[in-house]
Structure 1
């Protein structure tokens, strides 16, 4: 018999809830911070070199960004299943899902790596019309493209481990990766210790070296340390048809969702890229500030997907509603703190970065826009990626992003930039309006509770987890 809201509240051990959630949030927030730190290291060091190098690396990074979003779509779709199977204690099915995710990710990475090596000029021209910026980006792409296959292995594995509450390994991997990246960046960008001064090429080599280290640590953990969910070569080549059907049903909308959102963000960058290197450089810094300000919010989002997925897998549907409300409050608090930090950081960023006066004026305005954008994004991401996907509601996010980004913010921003030739500030505000438009729609969806659904099958596997 279903319990009502008041019974749920009185029956939940909130002290245990917060303890379990913090165990998930803290390592994942640290992982997000470290991941942003890798990007921030490139931005900061190349910002000291000059706007052209900074803009080239930033725009070249859009290729990896789109690829990473496909990986996120694959793993987020897989998490819809793995988190609920984890709640049932069915580890063998999780191993099969891991194999399917690897297969798709390796094919995607191969495509992007080939494009980065063979047609880097064409890729860069999507984002910029300035020859100097394109030339710098080509140098970066041809080196970093080699790392894409390594990223397919590392990101898929670590993200699926998150869904079964194994979050510490990713913190270790990305911590070591950050140190490697910063050290090699500093040595090769600026020519320390007698090494050649390579500029943007040094940043690319540093990123590649960090990816090699990540993959090596993950391979050791997966083959030696992890005794619960293992990688089986046969799962890369064999297919459980029923499970593949479920995987595609819930993963494909998420992959398309992440891809459409990523292409939308990339389209924003392309519009800004054609407004000049000053706008590109300022946006590069503003995006890093946003990423830093949302590390806790995205940790909450990931924790939401894991915790609610497990709760739904355990058939505790009413508890999932109450937990969902609590996660919304936590994300709002995190978003407000992040937005405040962005406002505080604006004058500091302008003082530190070697930007032109024009770029500095853009940066101040962009930081203001990012301050309220961050609050809305924290709430929307927790709801769409955390809450809705945990219950198998994966199609809603796809429709939402296509409607609000491609039908509103990107369209309006592009018209403002290329038809009406509006100032950069107006264009930027329109491009960043999608999260504000989404907010009332996502809240309405949450309180309708149509997102709660058990998506698992009875596979006949044991429902106890031996750790």
Structure 2
């Protein structure tokens, strides 16, 4: 392969500019589409009624935890597959993909069975006493979404396999198709047949089934470096499963505790009054757009760095990590500028009171300005996960969340009686700590070269 970059660490790069572009743009589009489709989905659910919105919201908070565990496990599988591809061991890469399918589908079958058998009891334990109509809709929605978990596991695992081999376009197209099927199905069932909460849940199940079936077909027909063609590839392999779980379990713990910390902060904000709650909710919603490029580039970094690491080219792994950091800053320069300049307009779309709107604008300004330190704090961890150091990122993240983001926030609000802005000031301290730790280990010469 010709060298398309200047000042590169090696004479032959694994990824040209053209290859890198075609790897990354579907990931960015997929992230954007997921947010936009989610907004449309919420609007259609709202048409059914408040009880359905409440029931769906309760179940989605539980479903999100399940999906995050699933995503963390597939991230572990992506790393292992990418490393084997980089090493040129395509047989082991295919076996790893099969093991990922086995792990995730088995786990989701167990969770689905538990939800289907004990769904009502589970919701009662988690949410306590809620209105009977809300609980009734929540149980119906849970039954359909729980039935979809095994199909979602197949889809996520197959998408991770294709991403590991660099085929991000197929995963994006299937994601787009699945979401469009879901939206069209919702429109037909809700507006056409007036099926209530069933009209919200049934299309989700059918769309995920269709996506899973197409992905199984694709793994047999379109797989290049990785192809799942026999049940023997699904037979449990202790060593490969251990490798996947050594990354997937720390990812799951980190993700779970991170979201638990967010719940604690939401609870803290709720003590500040209605204006602060509304401002924080709106600002948090708008801030999700700031994370989209980083999340997409992080998924790309796992593929790129994982393949470089497997090919025993640690300097290229670092080189590409820097390239992706620069790209994240380029995206953020545009998005943050749009959000800062137009913050009054964006906040105005939510029809807040003047007090809440003012607080939301201040939060958006502070958050957008602080994004200058976000990429190093949150994109670099993908680099460490891609080289098999997920336990390291988990320890740093858990410490930073507990001590700075949550601990400082409680000091600022409970002890020193600051306003809602100080919740995010505590978060920024968390980011600075991560920058110091991750930046030091990333820049330190030959930090992980002994593992090559």
Q: Report if TM-score (shorter chain) is over 0.5.
A: yes
Structure 2 counterpart of 1:378, from 370, 375, 378? 375
Q: Which moved more, 1:127-136 or 1:77-86?
A: 127-136
Structure 2 counterpart of 1:324, from 306, 321, 324? 321
Kept after mapping to 1: 8 A contact 2:280/2:420: no
> Which residue of the partner structure matches residue 331 of structure 2?
334
Cα distance in 2 for residues equivalent to 1:281 and 1:121: 32
Change (3 A) 1:243 1:215: closer
> Which residue of the partner structure matches residue 91 of structure 1?
90
Change (3 A) 1:324 1:23: same
> Which residue of the partner structure matches residue 445 of structure 1?
441
Cα distance in 1 for residues equivalent to 2:220 and 2:407: 48
- Tell me the alpha carbon deviations over residues 68-106 of structure 1, each in whole angstroms, 9 at most, x when there is no partner: 222222222223322121112211111221222223212
Structure 1 counterpart of 2:249, from 249, 252, 260? 252
Is 1:219 the counterpart of 2:216 in the alignment? yes
Cα displacement (A) at 1:166: 1.6
Corresponding residue SS for 2:379: helix
Cα displacement (A) at 1:305: 2.0
Kept after mapping to 2: 8 A contact 1:339/1:375: no
Structure 2 counterpart of 1:397, from 358, 371, 393? 393
Cα distance in 1 for residues equivalent to 2:239 and 2:22: 34
Cα distance in 2 for residues equivalent to 1:105 and 1:278: 42
Change (3 A) 1:350 1:243: closer
Corresponding residue SS for 1:312: helix
Cα distance in 1 for residues equivalent to 2:202 and 2:364: 30
Cα distance in 2 for residues equivalent to 1:361 and 1:201: 40
Q: Which moved more, 1:25-34 or 1:61-70?
A: 61-70
Listed as ranges, the matches of 1:33-44 within 5 Å are 33-44=32-43
Corresponding residue SS for 1:105: helix
Cα distance in 2 for residues equivalent to 1:45 and 1:225: 35
Cα displacement (A) at 1:176: 0.9
Cα distance in 2 for residues equivalent to 1:46 and 1:345: 29
Change (3 A) 1:382 1:275: same
- Tell me the alpha carbon deviations over residues 398-449 of structure 1, each in whole angstroms, 9 at most, x when there is no partner: 1111101123323444677788887555446546763344223221221114
Kept after mapping to 2: 8 A contact 1:393/1:452: no
Cα displacement (A) at 1:331: 1.9
Kept after mapping to 1: 8 A contact 2:94/2:233: yes
Cα distance in 2 for residues equivalent to 1:352 and 1:74: 37
Q: Which has the higher contact order (CA 8 A, sep 6+)?
A: 1
Corresponding residue SS for 2:16: helix
Taking only aligned residues, the RMSD between alpha carbons, in angstroms, comes to 4.0
Kept after mapping to 1: 8 A contact 2:74/2:104: no
Change (3 A) 1:284 1:234: farther
Residue ranges of structure 1 left out of the alignment (5+ in a row): 1-5, 457-467
The TM-score, its normalising length taken from structure 2, stands at 0.81
- Tell me the alpha carbon deviations over residues 194-236 of structure 1, each in whole angstroms, 9 at most, x when there is no partner: x2173x6544344333322322321221233335423232233
> Which residue of the partner structure matches residue 71 of structure 1?
70
Is 1:315 the counterpart of 2:312 in the alignment? yes
> Which residue of the partner structure matches residue 154 of structure 1?
155
> Which residue of the partner structure matches residue 176 of structure 1?
177
Cα distance in 1 for residues equivalent to 2:356 and 2:48: 15
> Which residue of the partner structure matches residue 61 of structure 2?
62
Cα distance in 2 for residues equivalent to 1:423 and 1:49: 37
Kept after mapping to 1: 8 A contact 2:10/2:316: no
Kept after mapping to 1: 8 A contact 2:119/2:143: no
Cα distance in 2 for residues equivalent to 1:275 and 1:101: 45
> Which residue of the partner structure matches residue 294 of structure 1?
291
> Which residue of the partner structure matches residue 3 of structure 2?
none
Kept after mapping to 2: 8 A contact 1:47/1:353: no
Q: Which moved more, 1:144-153 or 1:430-439?
A: 430-439
Cα distance in 1 for residues equivalent to 2:113 and 2:270: 24
Corresponding residue SS for 1:294: helix
The TM-score, its normalising length taken from structure 1, stands at 0.79
Residue ranges of structure 2 left out of the alignment (5+ in a row): 1-5
